[in-house]
């Protein structure tokens, strides 16, 4: 078994075991939802970074189900970005011109409580993507393939190598983009074999890492990211604005400075997709605009991501200042 798979097997899946690990008292345990519909999945690395007996810890809030998830909100949706309306197949989505998204699997290294795809009808009988690749090959207007999921880094190196090899054979594809959160939980996923398959690609590869808070970062994460960067692969980051997690100027400033100091470019700051069970994370558009205005006073422009909202049916992500 590979190193990263053995680490993945140590993830916390039982709430009581995680609360015991974090020394939670009875008062704070009462805040936690014991039997969540979207099950607990927390890498040991992230659990070790959580403060003890602290239900307000920014990592705890992101990954552990709270009873707030049961609150009813009329504006919340099962499929807030309407993925199913843009399916060319069950595994191929196309919302925007020139690029298409491949849902590579339904497995992640961790379960984020605000995940907009937590209700997606994942159905994988095989992982060769023949039908999807045929559609992409037949459409010369598609220039970029986004590998998403789940998380594409949950796939084995053998499957990823075959997939990239097949994409390499499509002349009009210029870029292969990985959307992943794996590195903040199990950075060891960036093995020498994985780096080798990236290096072999004839297409330009781009990584977009999902990172929400400074506590998710450490020297190991930076070191593994550097291995990707040394292959000439740009590393962008995406962040979701979350109430009580990163909705302050200080939290965002610290995060973006850490990222830019390691050569990672903050790309998007997303408003919350209103998925059922996550509305307690919502930050108003006016608050979000205010945060960006404050950040502009203290940070260089290249370190501030574009504040965006996904509005289903629009031709691109909508910059908040256009609303």
CA 93 from centre of chain:
17
Q: What class does CATH assign to 83-322? A: alpha beta
Question: CB within 8 A of 115, min separation 6: which ones?
Answer: 38, 108, 275, 278
Please work out, in degrees rounded to the nearest 5, the angle formed at the alpha carbon of residue 189 by the alpha carbons of 186 and 193.
170
Q: How far apart are CA 27 and CA 31, in angstroms?
A: 7
pLDDT (0 to 100) of residue 323: 54
pLDDT (0 to 100) of residue 128: 80
Q: 203, exposed or middle or buried, with CB in 10 Å at 0-12, 13-18, 19+? A: middle
pLDDT (0 to 100) of residue 125: 66
For residue 228, give Cα distances in angstroms to 6, 8, 183.
22, 21, 11
Give yes or no for a contact between 31 and 67, defined as CB atoms under 8 angstroms apart: yes
What is the residue whose two structure tokens read 């289903």? 312
Helix (H, G, I), strand (E, B) or coil at 240: strand
pLDDT (0 to 100) of residue 112: 98
Tokens of residue 11, six digits = 């993830």
Q: Cis omega (within 30 of 0) on the bond before 150?
A: yes
pLDDT (0 to 100) of residue 109: 97
Give yes or no for a contact between 91 and 134, defined as CB atoms under 8 angstroms apart: no
Question: CB within 8 A of 87, min separation 6: which ones?
Answer: 93
How many CB atoms sit inside 10 A of residue 215's CB?
20
pLDDT (0 to 100) of residue 69: 97
Query: Domain residues of the chain, as ranges?
Result: 3-70, 83-322
Question: CB within 8 A of 264, min separation 6: which ones?
Answer: 209, 225, 235, 236, 237
Per-residue pLDDT of the chain (323 residues; tens, 9 = 90+): 899 999 999 999 999 999 999 999 999 999 999 999 999 999 999 999 999 999 999 999 999 999 999 999 988 999 999 999 999 999 999 999 999 999 999 999 999 999 999 999 887 766 789 999 999 999 999 999 999 999 999 999 999 999 999 999 999 999 999 999 999 999 999 999 999 999 999 999 999 999 999 999 999 999 999 999 999 999 999 999 999 999 999 999 999 999 999 999 999 999 999 999 999 999 999 999 999 999 999 999 999 999 999 999 888 999 998 65
Model pTM?
0.96
pLDDT (0 to 100) of residue 39: 96
Give yes or no for a contact between 263 and 233, defined as CB atoms under 8 angstroms apart: no
């Amino acid at each position: 078994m590979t190193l990263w798979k053995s680490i993945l097997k140590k993830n916390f899946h039982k709430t009581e075991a995680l609360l015991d690990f974090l020394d939670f008292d009875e008062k704070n345990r009462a805040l936690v939802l014991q039997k969540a519909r979207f099950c607990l999945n927390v890498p040991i690395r992230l659990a070790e970074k959580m403060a003890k007996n602290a239900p307000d810890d920014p990592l705890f809030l992101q990954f552990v189900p709270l009873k707030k998830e049961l609150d009813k909100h009329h504006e919340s949706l099962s499929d807030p970005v309407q993925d199913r309306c843009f399916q060319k197949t069950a595994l191929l989505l196309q919302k925007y011109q020139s690029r298409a998204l491949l849902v590579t699997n339904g497995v992640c290294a961790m379960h984020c409580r605000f995940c907009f795809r937590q209700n997606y009808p994942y159905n994988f009988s095989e992982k060769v993507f023949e039908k999807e690749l045929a559609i992409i090959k037949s459409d010369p207007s598609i220039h970029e393939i986004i590998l998403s999921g789940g998380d594409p880094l949950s796939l084995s190196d053998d499957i990823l190598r075959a997939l990239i090899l097949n994409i390499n054979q499509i002349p009009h594809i210029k870029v292969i983009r990985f959307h992943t959160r794996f590195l903040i939980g199990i950075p060891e996923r960036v093995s020498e074999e994985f780096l080798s398959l990236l290096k072999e690609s004839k297409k330009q590869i781009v990584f977009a890492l999902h990172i929400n808070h400074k506590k998710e970062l450490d020297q190991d994460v930076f070191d593994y990211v550097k291995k990707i960067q040394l292959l000439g692969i740009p590393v962008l980051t995406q962040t979701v604005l979350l109430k009580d997690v990163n909705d302050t100027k200080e939290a965002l400033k610290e995060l973006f400075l850490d990222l830019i100091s390691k050569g990672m470019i903050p790309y998007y700051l997303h408003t919350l997709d209103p998925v059922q069970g996550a509305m307690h994370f919502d930050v108003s558009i006016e608050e979000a605009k205010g945060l960006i205005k404050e950040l502009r006073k203290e940070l260089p422009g290249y370190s501030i991501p574009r504040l965006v909202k996904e509005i289903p049916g629009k031709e691109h992500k909508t910059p908040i200042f256009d609303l």
